[in-house]
Every structure is written in structure tokens, then in C-alpha cells.
Amino acid sequence: MIYFDNAATTKMCKEACEAMFPLLGELCGNPSSAHEAGQAAASALFIAHRDISSCLGCEPNEIFFTSCGSEGDTMALLSAAEYGTSQGKRHIISQKAEHHAVLNTLKALEKHGFEITLLDVDQYGMVSPENIARSIRTETALVTIMTANNEIGTIQPIAEIGKICRERNVLFHTDAVQAAGHIPLDVTALNCDMLTISAHKFHGPKGVGAVYIRRGVPVTPLIYGGGQERGKRGGTENLPAIVGMAAALKHCVSVMSERTEYISTLRDRLIDGISELPNAHLNGHPTIRLCGNVSFCFGDTEGERLVYLLNKKGICCSSASACSSGLSEPSHVMLAIGRSPELAKGSLRLSLSEYNTAEEIETVISEIRNIIYNL
Ligand code: PLP
């Protein structure tokens, strides 16, 4: 099997597996227990807070562990919404190509009386900071813009957007689920107040994530429970997964530059190979994109069909985001970058990792070529 669906989820790295293993057996304590086993667990939790925060350039008590990226996004948005309400601010700005974890939370807030402005993106999926500046009003509570897009890989000018928000005294959240572990993220340099990550996108375990919420921004818990995570996220911590996430992120950060160079070389070869095919249109920014993302639309060829035929050849990839594949609707991201509904249905995403090889890239190019010429 050749796995090219790392934007959907990744294989766990050795570092994460090794860090988790003892916590699945002997080290079984609950961090809230006063005895020795509990204290060992509490200490592992403390170290995970410290490691994640040092990878993101914040304080350990500004990190809240969650069950996934969707939870982190929801927690950040609802916290900003409640804080905004307390100040008479009920307007939120985002953009049309966000992940559904953000878009659907915004829809829910709209039902509760918030006014949502969804900005257009350009042909590459890039949002304009000037447009954001123009859209901010006195009643704007929050700007939320993803760091990198999950379908087309475009990386947004987050630091610039954050600077505008800070100057205008508006909270700024970024969904960094696709970016974490793959590009440098420092919350101070990015000028953000809130940032979401999810472990399974950077070779950590599934079902665990974290949200950075700057000290001073009031947090609204989604789960009250027994006071875990300083009373902001109740429920016994998924300690093995949290420790695995911290190990995975630390590892990604330590090998980021070599890994990026290696994966970018594979990506560029794949883009060159596919670009030679008839009716192949690259989606996303030609250079300002995640090193592992390759996304194309193919004339009138359905993306779902390409995924099916490639799967028969042992190649795993996706036709849009994993969360929305299976639906016959064209992807909202493809529509946002101006693809026609017909072309939008023909999107194919191949997302790479360091576990892919140059041979696999050649195999995939040749299989896609066979499919396109024989359809
Ligand atoms: N945000 C982005 C950009 C994503 O790509 C995803 C998952 O694909 C999510 C949020 C949701 O993350 P999770 O699957 O951990 O809930």
C-alpha cells in the first residue's frame, strides 16, 4: 500500500509510540490522585504541558488539552464569543475556505445572534490582510483564519493578520491543525491569541489535541467536569495520548528543516509529473503551500472516481477533505478559489510525509497517467 493521505491522518512516529507505551501499562495512575501512581501521572502531564508550550512559544498554563482539533476550534471560538458578548461585541470575521470545524461553529453562533463575515479568498486560497482590516468594526469580537488549508495547502499570512487584529484590539484565533509540526509556529511571532493543533496530523495519536489560549483571554469550558485543565476542560486526561502528542510535536520540531526539504522535493516532482497531464490544474498557491500538499483538478474527471481507481492500485489518497468525501457536493474550498462546480468535483489531493519515497512518487505519477489516458 502507498499512503498519500497524510492531510487526513498520519502514521504515528516511533518517538510517540515509545513515549506512550509505559502509560498504557504500568504507569496507569490518574493525574488527580494523591498517591505515588497519581503523582507520576501528574508529572507526565506537567511535562507534556511544558513540551507542547515550548514548541509553540507560550507558557504551559496557556495550553489546554482537548480530544481533537474540532474541539480546540470550538473551545476557542465559543470562548471568544462569550467574551465578546460580555463587551457588547457580536461580530466575527473568517473566510470561505476554512475547515468545517470552524465554519459549522460559526453557523451555530449565527443562530445565536452573532453576525458572521466570511471573506473571499483569491484564486490560490489566500485571504487578504487588507480585506480583514477593512472588515473589522468596533463590534468585532474575533477574527479566525486557518494557518494552512487542509485541501489545497495554502499558507495564510498569519503574522500580518495577527498584527492587524492586535492593533485593532480584536481577538485572533488560528486553526493550525494542518500546519503544526510542519511549519514553525510561535504564538508571539504570529501575534495570535488562540491557536489549535491536533496530534494525528503530525504523527501523534488520534483523538487528542490542544488549544493555546493566551493568558488574560477568558476561557469558556465545553466540559465542566471535575476541574481538570485548571477547570477549563473537565474529564480525566487521556494521558497516553497527551504524552504521545507531546513526543510527536517535539520530534517534528527537531527534524523540521531536513524533513521539509525532503518532502518538498518529493512534492515538487509529483506536481511536475501531474502537471504534464491534459486538463490538470494545480490547486493552491504555487509556492506558499505546505511541503506535503499536492492538489489538482482534472477537467471533467470526477475526483471520487480517481480515488477509487487509485485505491484499486494500492494507492491511498483523497478527493477533497476526508471529512467531506463521500458527499457528492463539490468542495467549498474549490468553489471558494473560483473552480466551477464541475471542475471542483474533479479534485484529487495527495498529501505526503517523510515516510514516502521517490519510487512511490514515480509509481503514482505513472498510475495517474494510465488512468487519465484510459478513462
Ligand atoms: N482543522 C483543520 C484545518 C483540519 O484539517 C482538521 C481535520 O482534518 C480539523 C480542523 C479537525 O481536526 P480533528 O480531526 O482532530 O477534529
Of all atoms in ligand 1, which is nearest to the CA of residue 146?
A: 3
**Is the predicted pLDDT of residue 302 greater than 90, yes or no?**
no
Ligand 1: does its nearest atom lie under 6 Å from the Cβ of 5? no
What is the Cα Rg of the chain in Å? Answer: 21
Grid coordinates representing 374 are 484510459
Q: What is the pTM of this model?
A: 0.97
Q: How far is the CA of 327 from the centre of ligand 1 (A)?
A: 17
pLDDT value of residue 327: 53
pLDDT value of residue 326: 54
Angle between helices 358-374 and 256-275 (to 10 degrees): 20
Q: How far is the CA of 26 from the centre of ligand 1 (A)?
A: 32
Q: Read off the amino acid at residue 241.
A: A
Helix (H, G, I), strand (E, B) or coil at 300: coil
pLDDT tens sequence across 58-104: 999 999 999 999 999 999 999 999 999 999 999 999 999 999 999 99
Burial class (CB in 10 A: 0-12, 13-18, 19+), 178: buried
Q: What is the 3-state secondary structure (H, E, C) of 80-129?
A: HHHHHHHCCCCEEEEECCCCHHHHHHHHHHHHCCCEEEEECCCCCCCCCH
Ligand 1: does its nearest atom lie under 6 Å from the Cβ of 72? no
pLDDT tens sequence across 323-355: 445 556 789 999 999 999 888 888 999 999 999
**Is the predicted pLDDT of residue 369 greater than 90, yes or no?**
yes
pLDDT tens sequence across 10-33: 999 999 999 999 999 999 999 999
**Residue 321 φ/ψ, nearest 5 degrees:** -75, 145
CB 173 within 8 A of CB 156: no
Q: Read off the amino acid at residue 3.
A: Y
**Is the predicted pLDDT of residue 322 greater than 80, yes or no?**
no
For the chain, the first-to-last Cα distance in angstroms comes to 23
Ligand 1: does its nearest atom lie under 6 Å from the Cβ of 69? yes
pLDDT tens sequence across 143-170: 999 999 999 999 999 999 999 999 999 9
- Residues annotated as part of the active site: 323
Give me the residue label for grid cell 491511498.
316
Ligand 1: does its nearest atom lie under 6 Å from the Cβ of 273? no
What is the average pLDDT across 164-179? 98
